Amino acid sequence: MTTAMRNQAAILFDLDGTLVDSVYQHVLAWRRALFDQGFDLSAWRIHRRVGMSGGLLVHALGRELGHEFSASQVEEVQAAHTRYFHEAGDTVRPLPGASHLLQELSRRHVPVAVATSGTRETAGASLGSLGLGPEVPVVTRDEVPFAKPDPDLFLAAADRLGASIGNCIVVGDSIWDILAARRAGALGVGLLSGGYSRQELEVAGAFRVYQDPAAMEVRLEELGIRM
Amino acid sequence: MTTAMRNQAAILFDLDGTLVDSVYQHVLAWRRALFDQGFDLSAWRIHRRVGMSGGLLVHALGRELGHEFSASQVEEVQAAHTRYFHEAGDTVRPLPGASHLLQELSRRHVPVAVATSGTRETAGASLGSLGLGPEVPVVTRDEVPFAKPDPDLFLAAADRLGASIGNCIVVGDSIWDILAARRAGALGVGLLSGGYSRQELEVAGAFRVYQDPAAMEVRLEELGIRM
């Protein structure tokens, strides 16, 4: 890529914990769903898996318990998670500055997409609360074979924007976002708004770490996003 | 203190996130209570304050918003938090190995106490679920002038055991436990079961960090607790 050919960077956002304040509700919804199946998983262990695909999360937690979940058990846990998460629905709100950041990026003509390990069903209300414009593609777990930490979601999102993945900045709150960004060949920016610590995100390879969308907007120039 | 005079170490446990899996419920209860008063605080910011006294937490979060809470507002927020936390009551359960660890310490004749920034009212059910013996003193926020990160709770707990604080090991999941331990002159041991990262607890000064009570029991010898 020569300098003359270089395009404006595109930004690929994770959803939960990055644009909407929903991680803690997801944690407790997974916890209740697993408990219904007889598995008493600690909330912190679930927290550290949220952001990866729901199927992977259940299998990974099962392995910590020394239990192999069957495909039908995984489905039941996922269905119960969706149900419990919807119960918390009205407490899920955009993170500070999320909508404003998206507007500001649009004003600066920065291509933006959203890529989430969640399903269209669990993500719907959150996406609605952000007031995304029609120019913002959204890729959900239903649309790719493998969710994070596999790179597929971010690759598909870059594709929708017609952007080269090497020219994309992935923004996420979990180490699965940062790992998936690295696997895809994009830069990963971490936000603390999902409850991971700065060090966990840095150790995973985050290029920069900000508190939340509002704090990121103040520092857009650090990412080479110009007025 | 000469070697000949040295007594068996005593252990002072925090409650929420250390012996019971309740931090995420507390986070969402505080979030709803603050929202009722018109303050939309992100869950992760609340998470990082849980474990300090409720009054301090509200004032600290208010300062982040540039708002000064009145004494009556603080009281209202605390009352609403208690109400919302009770709603989640049946999902609050002991952390893996908590009761077993307490039994094992009793078997090894290690004096043990519990010291929590929570009130007797919010802590009651959690304490009940642990099946604490009558020999385990419990100090709650109601009984001391200042809760964590002030050292008063741990000093009072050591006092109840007739133990010298310099011979106590404080076990907690939040940096407020570790800071209060250091201020009191005790060693602080961190557990990951409240959702802080290992690095945050180490940077706060934790002597050792374990995943949860079950993991701590396997490594009791590292703390000089002998069979």
ipTM: 0.94
Residues ≥6 apart with Cβ < 8 Å to A9: A110, A167, A168, A169, A223, A224, A225
> Count of CB contacts below 8 A, A vs B?
71
How far apart are the CA of B167 and the nearest CA of chain A, in angstroms?
30
Closest partner CB to B42 (pick from A42, A193, A197): A193
Closest partner CB to A212 (pick from B42, B47, B192): B42
Q: How far is CA A178 from CA A136, A171, A187, A199, A208, in A?
A: 21, 8, 8, 13, 11
Tokens coding A154: 């971010």
Residues ≥6 apart with Cβ < 8 Å to A72: none
Q: How far is CA B216 from CA A65, A145, B21, B104, B212, in A?
A: 17, 39, 16, 11, 6
Chain A hits for B91, CB-CB cut-off 8 Å, are 28, 31-32, 35
Q: Kindly list the structural domains of chain A, giving each domain's residue range(s) and its CATH number in brackets, ordered by start.
A: 3-21+93-223 (3.40.50.1000), 23-90 (1.10.150.240)
**B103 touching A, CB under 8 A?**
no
**Pairwise CA distance, residues B96 & B84, whole Å:** 24
Tokens coding B166: 């310099």
**Pairwise CA distance, residues B216 & B153, whole Å:** 22
Q: How many CA atoms lie within 13 A of A116 on its CB side?
A: 21
**Pairwise CA distance, residues B90 & A185, whole Å:** 45
- For residue A44, give the chain B residue with the closest CA: B195
**Pairwise CA distance, residues B20 & B93, whole Å:** 6
Query: Under an 8 A CB cutoff, do B24 and A47 touch?
Result: yes
Q: What is the pLDDT averaged over residues A99-107?
A: 95
**Pairwise CA distance, residues B129 & B93, whole Å:** 7
Write out the catalytic residue numbers of A. 14
Closest partner CB to A25 (pick from B21, B28, B197): B28
pLDDT given for residue A5 in this prediction: 55
How far apart are the CA of A135 and the nearest CA of chain B, in angstroms?
28
How far apart are the CA of B68 and the nearest CA of chain A, in angstroms?
19
Apex CA B96: angle with CA B95 and CA B99, to 5°? 80
Question: pLDDT class for A227, splitting at 50, 70, 90?
Answer: confident
Highest mean pLDDT among A37-41, A57-61, A206-210, B61-65: A206-210
**Pairwise CA distance, residues A202 & A208, whole Å:** 8
Chain A hits for B196, CB-CB cut-off 8 Å, are 197
Instruction: Report strand pairing: B168-172 vs A93-94.
Output: unpaired
B88 three-class SS:
coil
Query: Under an 8 A CB cutoff, do B196 and A199 touch?
Result: no
φ, ψ of residue A172 to 5 degrees: the values are -155, 165
Chain A hits for B28, CB-CB cut-off 8 Å, are 24-25, 28, 88, 91
Query: Under an 8 A CB cutoff, do B44 and A200 touch?
Result: no
**Pairwise CA distance, residues B193 & B205, whole Å:** 17
A37 three-class SS:
coil
How far apart are the CA of B187 and the nearest CA of chain A, in angstroms?
23
pLDDT given for residue A64 in this prediction: 85
- Catalytic residue among B14, B21, B150, B212, which? B14
Query: Under an 8 A CB cutoff, do A193 and B25 touch?
Result: no
pLDDT tens digit at each of 227 positions of chain B: 455 556 779 999 999 999 999 999 999 999 999 999 999 999 999 999 998 888 889 999 888 888 889 999 999 999 999 999 999 878 899 999 999 999 999 999 999 999 999 888 888 889 999 989 889 999 999 999 988 899 999 999 999 999 999 999 999 999 999 999 999 999 999 999 999 999 999 999 999 999 999 999 999 999 999 87
A189 three-class SS:
strand
A150-209 residue pLDDT tens: 999 999 999 999 999 999 999 999 999 999 999 999 999 999 999 999 999 999 999 999
Residues ≥6 apart with Cβ < 8 Å to A89: A125
Q: pTM value? A: 0.94
Chain A hits for B35, CB-CB cut-off 8 Å, are 91
B151 three-class SS:
coil
Instruction: Report strand pairing: A93-94 vs A20-21.
Output: antiparallel
- For residue B201, give the chain A residue with the closest CA: A197
